[in-house]
Structure 1
Amino acid sequence: MRCLTVVCFLLAVQLTTAVHSSLGADVDVIDIGSRRELLVDHLLIEKLNNVRLVLNRPRDEGIVLKFDKPWEGPFSGYCTVIKDGDLYRLYYRGNPKAGADGNTGEVYCYAESKYGIKWTKPEFTQFEIPGHETNNIVLANAAPLTHNFSPLLDTRPGVSPDQRYKAIGGTMTSGLVAMTSADGIHWKKLREQAVIPKEMVPFDYMFDSQNVAFWSDVEKSYVCFFRVFADGVRRICRTTSNDFLNWSPPVLMEYRHGEGEAPIEHLYTNQTHPYFRASHLYVAIAARFMPGRQVLSKEQAEAINVSPAYFKDTSDAVLMTSRGGEYYDRTFLSGYVRPGIGAKNWVSRTNYPALNVVQTGPSEMSVYLNQDYAQPTSHLRRYSMRLDGFASAQAPYAGGELITKPLKFKGRELAINFSTSAAGSIQVEIQDLLGKPIPGFTLDDANEQIGNEIRRVVSWKKGSDVGSLSNTPVRLRFVFKDADLYSFKFDE
């Protein structure tokens, strides 16, 4: 009987190979290798039967930092959070008074944290503020760069230690200027002239927002996303560089929603960055701005002491993703972080996300939002999510299934990030290209996965080893009941 099972298995593998050979170019096989794949778009999905992709909104964890220093104040913003080893670094604009973009009163401030939950403001002596010889300022007297200074930890292999940190900043008057730092505290210009001057951007207005850059392990280049106005709407452009000095002609990003195009909405900031557990996936938690969509009356605005020009618009945070190229996937059009209860949350330019999502616990990650903008209570707030938990494939109690497109993987085990109810479960079947279950990996062979874990190795009656199918084109069939699947990954 054992010999017969082995023979059947070998015949199934040969059949899968033969089918792939005969279909040839008619079948596109996606090579996922050992990458972690999140259920945030439809790239790998062939069929959903009573399963849907759902947006999982973060949980409000409260205020983590008040912008309460004399040099910070109501117009603080454009925050960046960077996890550097065991240290979390926070950069943000300090600006106590309303003024033109890039005015000399803007400075860049710094805070740090051990776990990303409680933050402290170190005392430096780099820049003196009248009456305050020490402060938490790391960049001043550098207008207009201090309007939207946006740093990154450069992960490019072989990067010079004195340029381990890089940043871009500036407005249309200056273009985007690059800066470098060895320690993230002391900064200098990479060169005097802009690395992305306004002359290379084919739009009438640009840069007046937080513009972001990072090293892409997948694209093997630096990638920069910056703000422009296109036909009167706040849009995002993309450009790349091999050296952070010379950048390609910018391309205007488009938006996809399923098989069609997504609505064009004002996106004030884009906050695009590689997801730290899957660097091939760029996550953008963007600030969606709704100009003229007024919620508060003049009397309500006066009651919360908001600056008079800052209560006639609204904004929230939306989730987008990209896998490189000229498109964002806007799988979910609804708000990712909705404005909270109370008038303070419904003013102009509040609810703007900080750049980067970071891990803040064994099973938790966090995003931070700048809230109570243009108000005396301006602050930064933390929102938590489960790891990989931006979205999920979800099945109801009645059950359903998800079948992937043809894919190849590398590894010996399939691990899933999932949760079920006490009555729910997930099972995984591995099929050949024609959708025929492979012996030993059929639904009847699949063990039920019940529970709530960030990493659970899937198994069948004969065990968990899928190495015999490594680099062979297959389909995965996930059968759900009252369960969510957040991500999956093949491991050695």
Structure 2
Amino acid sequence: MGKRRELFVDEYLVDTLEGDLSYRLHAPQAQELVIRQDKPWEGNASSYHTVFKDGDTYRMYYRGHDFTLEGGRLGFTHGECTCYAESKDGIHWEKPELGLFEFDGSKKNNIVWMGAGSHNFSPFVDERPDCPEDERLKATGGLAHNGGMRVFKSADGTKWEQVGEQAVITEGAFDSANIAFWDKALGKYRTYFRVFTAGTTTAKIWKPAGIRAIRTATSDDLVNWTDFEDLTYGDSPPQQMYTNNVVSYSRAPHILMGFPMRYVERGWSPSMKALPDLENRELRSQASLRYGTALTETQFMTSRDGVAFTRWDEAFLRPGVERKDSWYYGHNNVAWNMALTSSRFEDAEDELSFYAEAGGWHGSGKTLTRHTLRQDGFVSIHSTLKGGRLTTRPITFSGSELELNLSTSAIGYVKVECLTPAGAVIDTFGIEQADETFGDALDRKVTWEERTGLKKLSGKPIRLRFTLSDADLYSFRFV
């Protein structure tokens, strides 16, 4: 593992768990409303947000669209467009007047793209080492009915042009947020896009069947794609993945993380009728039952090869407290990627920020709420006070010190032993020498009788054995 950070988001490094230890999925916490998408071109059907940092600026892109519901039919007030916002800190956002595209007779708007691809225009920073500067930003977009997934390029993030004249992937449904990015660990581009498990979804025939699913492929140039495979989820039961939101995690780039929106059709029931805004729910159902009775939330999944994912069946971001703009089809769809933002507490560590949609279908526009999570805080090895032990598989590291991302109670702790691959305790690194490590920190150093030095074990295969009591262990690395 060298010096790379390892998270406990799967069982990859874990050999045994003993005692009162378990994997615990953690949920991001709602913060403030950061954006109101209330302009006529943004509308109440805005969606499919992407967020990334480019230099010292966070860029956000999203679809602008607006629904009408009259006479039992779903209509639209205007065509789709791609809108833009930016921020210096990931908390305070601005929507600049760019003057690029005309809407209703004026160019005073934040539109950066119109036409093919606007339904799900998904930009990213192209991190390929030899990427030309004048096309350092790329995007995907497109639907089956207009040919499939297209690729776009930009030098500044606001002026875009299509790469080539044709779609680069034509087999698929694509009627969702389809994303691509340069995978540093693989040394290729990856894409993840919408398919259905049965039926036909082409430019001429739209008869999807089965359930919504995710397909992936790889490419050296974003144009020619190979290695098409449908994602697998181990023993997780079949579920409808409406989006994928797969990203390479910045603090551990060898781990891919997905935040798909789970889609659930529940039909009418007493509980459905008790949910907020029944009048509008019934109005939507006149156009299609699922418009009023489908519900959505965000899940969490990870992969080390890009195809086989560990998917948590529990929700990562639930619909939450019932209020008017919640518990509906499309609610809590999170943006692709996350931002690193300051904590509201002085001197606290920076946090990960996610951006989730609310307030769709009716009214003047949607809102976006920021949710925060500790860095690496997706899943922990959780211990009760009674405690337990975790033993890793044999690992080889480089460095001289071990750091833990952990959270304990005042009485809780983590102790670490170093073992041979056969399981024998290495002299001076046993449980008797291990100091109790406690607190709430991202990089707390581990000590043995006040010693941190591990240099003599560097480059040699060892196991780590963690003893926990009333603690959560999120990740570790050697430095």
TM-score, structure 1 as length reference:
0.87
Quick one: structure 1 residues 464 and 155, their matched pair in 2 at CA, closer, same or farther if it must change by over 3 Å? Answer: same
Q: Does 1:356 align with 2:332?
A: no
What are the Cα deviations for residues 111-135 of structure 1, in whole angstroms up to 9, with x where unaligned?
0111111111001110011243310
Query: Relative to structure 1, is the Cα distance of residues 464 and 138 closer, same or farther in structure 2, using a 3 angstrom cutoff?
Result: same
**Which of the residues 24, 49, 74 maps onto 2:44?**
74
Q: Which of 94, 98, 102 is 2:64 aligned to?
A: 94
Q: Distance in 1 between matches of 2:443 and 2:227?
A: 42
1:293-304 alignment to 2 at 5 Å? 293-294=267-268, 296-297=272-273, 300-302=277-279
Q: Which residues in structure 2 correspond to 1:35-184 (within 5 Å)? A: 35-49=4-18, 50-97=20-67, 105-140=79-114, 142-143=115-116, 145-173=117-145, 174-184=147-157
**Contact 2:67-2:74 at 8 Å conserved across structures:** no
Instruction: Give yes or no for contact 1:296–1:347 (8 Å, CA) kept in 2.
Output: no
Q: What letter matches 1:39 in structure 2?
A: F
- Is 2:144 aligned against 1:190? no
Specify the alignment match of 2:317 in structure 1: 337
Q: Which residue does 1:463 correspond to in 2? A: 451
Task: Tell me whether 88-97 or 355-364 shows the greater mean CA deviation.
Answer: 355-364
The aligned residue for residue 269 of structure 1 is 243
1-side partners of 2:340 and 2:284: how far apart? Answer: 35
In structure 2, the CA distance between the partners of 1:188 and 1:104, relative to structure 1 (3 Å rule), is farther
Conserved 8 A contact 1:109-1:138: yes
Percent identity between matched residues is: 40
Contact 2:232–2:309, Cα closer than 8 Å, also in 1: yes
**Partner residue in 2 for 1:21:** none
Query: Aligned runs of 1:242-257 on 2, under 5 Å?
Result: 242-256=220-234
Q: Which runs of 5+ in 1 are unaligned?
A: 1-31
Q: CA deviation at 1:164?
A: 0.6
Matched, 1:396 2:384: yes
Q: Any idea what the Cα deviations from partners look like across 1:391-444, whole Å, max 9, x if unmatched?
A: 111111111111111111111111111111110111110100111110121111
How far off is 1:450 after superposition? 1.4
Q: Is the 8 A contact 2:259 2:298 kept in 1?
A: yes
Cα gap change, 1:34 to 1:293, in 2 (>3 Å): farther
Matching residue's letter, 1:460: W
The one-letter code sitting in structure 1 at the alignment partner of 2:332 is: N
Q: How far apart, CA to CA, are the structure 2 residues paired with 1:423 and 1:180?
A: 54
CA gap of 1:96–1:305, structure 2 versus 1, over 3 A, is farther
Question: Are the counterparts in 1 of residues 358 and 366 from structure 2 also a CA contact under 8 Å?
Answer: yes
Q: Per the alignment, in what secondary structure is the counterpart of residue 350 of structure 1?
A: coil
Match status 1:371 vs 2:358:
yes
Count of residue pairs brought into register by the alignment: 447
1:222 partner letter: Y
Which letter does structure 1 place at the counterpart of 2:310? D
How far is 1:158 from its partner? 1.7
8 Å CA contact 2:60–2:86 kept in 1: the answer is yes
Is the contact made by 2:354 and 2:370 (CA closer than 8 Å) also made in structure 1? yes
Unpaired stretches in structure 2, ≥5 consecutive residues: 199-209, 343-348
Aligned to 1:438: 426
Q: Which amino acid aligns with 2:127?
A: T
Summarize the Cα distance change of 1:293–1:478 in structure 2 as closer, same or farther, 3 Å threshold: farther
Q: Measured at CA, do residues 346 and 293 of structure 1 come closer, stay the same or move farther in structure 2, by a change above 3 Å?
A: farther
Q: Cα RMSD (Å) of the superposition? A: 2.0
8 Å contact from structure 1 (residues 168, 212) kept in 2: yes
254, 257, 265: which is aligned to 1:280? 254
1:163 Cα shift? Answer: 1.3
CA gap of 1:463–1:101, structure 2 versus 1, over 3 A, is farther
